[in-house]
């Protein structure tokens, strides 16, 4: 497990993968909040 975490945090490809995963999770949360607001406010 230490080798995997070392590769994830030390290599450029690992950091790019980590950034991509965090970006997709953040985008999913943002879209969920935005869609919920749109569904609760039908007059717009």
pLDDT digits (tens, 9 = 90+) for 8-29: 889 999 999 999 999 999 999 9
Split at pLDDT 50, 70, 90, the class of 33 is very high
pLDDT of residue 19: 96
Q: Identify whether the C-beta of residue 1 lies closer than 8 Å to the C-beta of residue 11.
A: no
- pTM summary value: 0.75
Split at pLDDT 50, 70, 90, the class of 32 is very high
For the chain, where are the alpha helices, taking DSSP H only? 2-10, 12-40
Per-residue pLDDT at 38 exceeds 70 = yes
């Amino acid at each position: 497990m230490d080798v995997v975490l070392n590769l994830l945090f030390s290599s450029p490809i690992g950091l790019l993968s980590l950034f991509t995963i965090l970006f997709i999770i953040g985008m999913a949360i943002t879209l969920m909040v935005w869609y919920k607001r749109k569904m609760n406010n039908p007059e717009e």
